Amino acid sequence: MPGIAGLFGQAAADLGRMISVDSGVILSIGGVAAAVEHGSDRGLSDSMARSGALKGIFGVGDTLGGARAQTAGAVATYALGRATSNPTVARIGADLIRAQFVTQTITGAIKTVAGRTRPDGTQYSFPSGHAAATFATATVLQRHLGWKVGIPAYAVASYVAASRIQTRRHFLSDVTFAAAIGIAAGRTVTIGRGNNRFELAPTAVPGGGGITLTWTGKSQIANH
């Protein structure tokens, strides 16, 4: 069962482990997809923002995907595992905490460098911290618990990402690249967990594009 001291040491080391072939492929795909989508960013943002129906649907996305909620959920999972002496739950919580540390550190750094203006006119649009955080959580859960949990977790992450576009806090390209960051971070902190493989590829949709995740079966060795 991971201890608190070891947990913080692992979290710091995870930033170095992000420099890998696996992360490079995922981030490259996300970067290409974001570049393709860039031209349709403004039109999609304006279209979704004008929809009153979507406003009601995506109302809780800001709270659900926020750093506070995602980190609190990770810490609560870890604390529950420690309190009940359940090493499986504690390991999941530890990996969730580490994934949040990595995603928030990386997205914060990129936001400062990129300095992109949000659709609503405020600063630091690229990439989306909400999307990165929720896709990191989804990836950790999928790696530990399989696709029965992973599919709804990724659905929640996609919902949060869409909500950021609808509320004019982010463009499509912001959330697409953020999703790649979250997936890469989640896979980095779960090296050796799970035995399912999936492939990512950019995909075109009316008015924009995104990332498609495809399950390709089980592997004998966990990929990283």
Q: Inform me whether the pLDDT recorded for 34 exceeds 90.
A: yes
Q: What pLDDT does 214 receive?
A: 52
Say which range, 118-127, 153-162, 184-193, has the weakest mean pLDDT: 184-193
Q: Inform me whether the pLDDT recorded for 68 exceeds 90.
A: yes
Q: What pLDDT does 8 receive?
A: 74
Q: What pLDDT does 208 receive?
A: 46
CA dihedral in degrees (212, 218, 220, 222; nearest 10)? 40
Q: Are 137 and 179 in contact (CB under 8 A)?
A: no
Confidence class for position 55, pLDDT limits 50, 70, 90: confident
Q: Inform me whether the pLDDT recorded for 108 exceeds 60.
A: yes
Among 188, 198, 192, 190, CA closest to 154? 198
Q: What pLDDT does 202 receive?
A: 44
- H-assigned helices in the chain: 4-17, 21-37, 41-49, 52-57, 61-65, 67-83, 87-114, 129-145, 147-166, 172-188
pLDDT (mean) for 82-108: 95
Q: Inform me whether the pLDDT recorded for 101 exceeds 60.
A: yes
Confidence class for position 216, pLDDT limits 50, 70, 90: very low
Q: Inform me whether the pLDDT recorded for 25 exceeds 90.
A: yes
Q: What pLDDT does 52 receive?
A: 74
pLDDT (mean) for 124-140: 97
Q: Are 17 and 95 in contact (CB under 8 A)?
A: no
Confidence class for position 54, pLDDT limits 50, 70, 90: confident
Q: What pLDDT does 191 receive?
A: 84
Q: What pLDDT does 205 receive?
A: 46
pLDDT (mean) for 137-159: 96
The string of pLDDT tens digits covering residues 158-207 is: 999 999 999 999 999 999 999 999 999 999 999 876 544 554 444 444 44
Confidence class for position 121, pLDDT limits 50, 70, 90: very high
CATH of domain 19-218: 1.20.144
Q: What pLDDT does 88 receive?
A: 94
